[in-house]
Structure 1
Amino acid sequence: MATNRTFTMIKPDAVENGHIGAIIEKIQTAGFKIVAMKYTQLSEADAKAFYEVHKERPFYGELVAFMSRGPIVAAVLEKDNAVEDFRTLIGATNPEEAAEGTIRKLFATSLSENAVHGSDSDENAAIESNFHFSGREIYA
């Protein structure tokens, strides 16, 4: 059964390029309710822990360096079918393959600097949300 929450991060590239407001507007226009949000920066240790699932992959070091280089916006979003609908909204990981109008098509600059993160499953949405937010920071 699908839950109605997902997790996202507006990544350092999109923050640096001034796209926070436009991305949040796309998220809200698509019917997502923001139930938690913070402007923060991942330390190298935080980025390593968050992306530990990828530690054996060749891009892990580059990913950790990228995600800890500057501020991010972390958020928990609520909507029916949240995980799947958000993945559709953000588009393919590679912005060149992303559908027109998707967040990555509009705001990503490359495969590795792709503007936003979106949870890929209900289980990971819960894990990732809990990584960034305590229960008292998430509002119903």
Structure 2
Amino acid sequence: MDIEKSLVLIKPDAVERHVTGKIIDLYESNGLRVIALKMVRVNEELARVHYAEHDGKVFFDELLKYITRSPLVAMILEGQGAIEKVRKINGNTNPEMAEYGTIRKKFGVNKTENSVHASDCRESAQKEINLWFPEFEQ
């Protein structure tokens, strides 16, 4: 497996409940390395670009309101097979359907407030890293 990078967002609900460190620990204990990290208050413009694929869907406005309501933590994780590994650690988007021990099962509130976002493929990872970390040289 190749060394990959993945964008991960620890979303506002998790930051508000003070579980950021616990979430980062789950990634690090599974062999992933944090290579960039910052806390940001997302503006609507960035939120619209990040969630562009959902524009026009009934839940789009709810997503924008949620992701901009309070600070989140954006980070780049690196490791062997990082994209797939992160998604497995995160679990199903819906916390009720997520496997025991995953981040979303432990910390997710509902399908929207599910604590974390991660890139779903190499192309998305590249695009999202460039969006959230334009200063990061790749």
Task: Please state which band the TM-score falls in when normalised by the shorter chain.
Answer: over 0.9
Alignment TM-score, normalising by the size of structure 1: 0.93
Identity %: 38
Structure 2: how far apart are the matches of 1:79 and 1:129? 15
1:116 aligns to what?
116
- More moved, 8-17 vs 55-64: 55-64
**Tell me, what secondary structure is at the counterpart of 2:35?**
strand
Alignment TM-score, normalising by the size of structure 2: 0.95
Moved over 2 A (4+): none
Residue correspondences, number: 138
- More moved, 3-12 vs 100-109: 3-12
Structure 1: how far apart are the matches of 2:127 and 2:85? 18
1:5 aligns to what?
5
1:64 aligns to what?
64
Gaps of 5+ in 1: none
1:25 aligns to what?
25
Structure 2: how far apart are the matches of 1:34 and 1:93? 22
Structure 2: how far apart are the matches of 1:138 and 1:106? 33
Structure 1: how far apart are the matches of 2:64 and 2:115? 15
Q: Could you list the per-position Cα deviations for residues 73-110 of structure 1 after superposition, in whole angstroms to 9, with x for gaps in the alignment?
A: 00010011111111000000000100000000001111
Alpha-carbon offset, residue 138 of structure 1: 5.7
Q: Could you list the per-position Cα deviations for residues 48-78 of structure 1 after superposition, in whole angstroms to 9, with x for gaps in the alignment?
A: 1111111021111100110000000000100
1:53 aligns to what?
53
Structure 2: how far apart are the matches of 1:134 and 1:111? 29
1:34 aligns to what?
34
2:76 aligns to what?
76
Gaps of 5+ in 2: none
2:44 aligns to what?
44
Q: Which amino acid aligns with 2:131?
A: F
